[in-house]
Amino acid sequence: MQKTATVWMGGLIALVALMVATLALLATPAQASVRFDYFTGQQNSTSVTLEWATVTELKIAGFRVYRLAEGSTAPEPVSSFIAARGDSFTGATYRFTDPTGDANTYAYYIQAVNLDTSTEMVGPVRIVSLEADTTLWLPIVVR
């Protein structure tokens, strides 16, 4: 009888532990669908080129580029849908050129579109151009 009680108690403890682990898993926020490595932009003579890279893309359908004009409160889409090329093990590098982009005027965002149509926004990236007579002071690093 003693042995049966021990087995039953052990089973009850295992059941309680399983329930606690399940509740902890349910309380954990969902993992982001995409992990970004970087998101940068560069002013060209008449346009802005954006580049971003992902580390992983889990259940990602693709991306859209948005820009926010100075003084505006809502970003507007400037790209068509860009299909995802990465997967859950490897990411990819993407590039988009905004032909009407202008430095010091827009902030850019990347919208990741999941397979279930939910979205995640990343950004902003603001392109700042330096005037020709601007001096940029950098530290001297000696090893």
Of these ranges, 4-13, 21-30, 113-122, the one predicted with the greatest mean pLDDT is: 113-122
Give the model confidence (pLDDT) of 75-127 as tens digits.
999 999 999 999 989 999 999 999 988 777 889 999 999 999 999 999 898 88
Listed by start position, the domains of the chain span 1-30, 34-126
Decide if pLDDT at 136 tops 60.
no
For the domain bounded by 34-126, which CATH number is listed? Answer: 2.60.40.10
CA angle 12, 21, 36 (to 5 degrees): 170
Burial zone of 65 (CB within 10 Å; 0-12 exposed, 13-18 middle, 19+ buried): buried
Give the model confidence (pLDDT) of 32-79 as tens digits.
689 999 999 988 888 899 999 999 999 999 999 999 988 889 999 999
